[in-house]
Amino acid sequence: MGNIGLCFTSVGRRHFACSVFVYFACFAVSRMKGIFLTFEGTEGSGKSTQISLLTKRLELLGHTVLTLREPGGTPIGEEIRYTLKHSHQNHAMTNEAELLLMNASRAQLVRETIRPALAEGKVVLCDRFYDSTTAYQGYGRQLDLKTVRAVIDFAVGDTRPDLTFLLMISIEVSESRRLSRQEALLFDVSPADKGPGGHTKLPFSDPLRDRMEEADRSFFERVAQGFEAIAAAEPQRVRAIDATRTVEAISAEIWKQVEPLLPAAR
């Protein structure tokens, strides 16, 4: 009996020591967990402006911020971005290839950058994430939504945004901002790159050309409907923001929702 008692005591001690270790390990991991915020919306919705304002505000408070974009954000991802948007080979790209390339870039970004940054306790801000795939490839290109979801799940695993800001503007505003952005880019082309009569040469290999923006209006209408459906389905995570207001008003609304999530500055 004495031996059995001794045996239980040492097992008990070991068990206790293990529990204490696991408790402190979990505590350390949870303290290091960063925050993952994503920004979504149609072209010209002002995501970049809001991301840069939020970055400055967070950094002033002492947080370490990592800003990323999709597709892209890693060396491999940026090559995929070029293929998706600007490559002279991309005309014949199928919708299925587009879906997989978006998610190849994402799978790389999640493992190479996002997970390590969150483990270090950083605030990660990402210009687009998987809601863009649902909106553009699911609703816009009309690929089967169940398949789209399965591909996204494979790419991201359990890495999900804590909060997503969906900047909402009308299709007309988005269209006019997209066109004026394209005009500004053309205007910026150096004279050496201009063709006869001062017209910009836009061969299909031109990095200023964006395949994603060549879709017709009905595509962008479906994308906008897709974003609305996502916001309606997940109101806890996806916060729809009226982005037709001033930059300051939008930024204040975003800040109100980010502030409560922040850990003490490190």
Considering the complex, state which of residue 93 and residue 212 has its C-beta at the smaller distance from ligand TMP. Answer: 212
CA dihedral 200, 202, 208, 211 (to 10 degrees): 150
Question: Phi/psi class of residue 171: alpha, beta or left (left: φ > 0; alpha: ψ in -120 to 50)?
Answer: alpha
d(CA 44, CA 244): 11
Give the residue nearest to ligand TMP (CB): 136
Output the smallest distance, CB 20 to ligand TMP, in A: 43
Interface with ligand TMP, residue 102, by CB under 6 A: yes
Interface with ligand TMP, residue 70, by CB under 6 A: yes
Considering the complex, state which of residue 51 and residue 102 has its C-beta at the smaller distance from ligand TMP. Answer: 102
Output the smallest distance, CB 128 to ligand TMP, in A: 4
Q: Which of 212, 225, 244, 255 binds ligand TMP (CB under 6 A)?
A: 212
Q: Which of residues 115-134 bind ligand TMP (CB under 6 A)?
A: 128, 132-133
Mark 150-189 with x for binding to ligand TMP (rule: CB under 6 A) and - for no binding: ----------------------------------------
* Two tokens, residue 227: 């974003």
Question: How many chain residues are in contact with ligand TMP, going by CB under 6 A?
Answer: 10
Burial of 22 (0-12, 13-18, 19+ CB in 10 A): exposed
d(CA 260, CA 127): 21
Considering the complex, state which of residue 132 and residue 251 has its C-beta at the smaller distance from ligand TMP. Answer: 132
Considering the complex, state which of residue 9 and residue 176 has its C-beta at the smaller distance from ligand TMP. Answer: 176
3-class state of residue 111 by DSSP: helix
Interface with ligand TMP, residue 101, by CB under 6 A: no
Output the smallest distance, CB 212 to ligand TMP, in A: 3
Considering the complex, state which of residue 46 and residue 71 has its C-beta at the smaller distance from ligand TMP. Answer: 71
Of 1, 28, 62, nearest in space to 262 by CA: 62
d(CA 241, CA 41): 10
- Bond before 71 cis per omega within 30 degrees: yes
3-class state of residue 8 by DSSP: helix
Report the interface residues with ligand TMP, using CB under 6 A: 69-71, 102, 128, 132-133, 136-137, 212
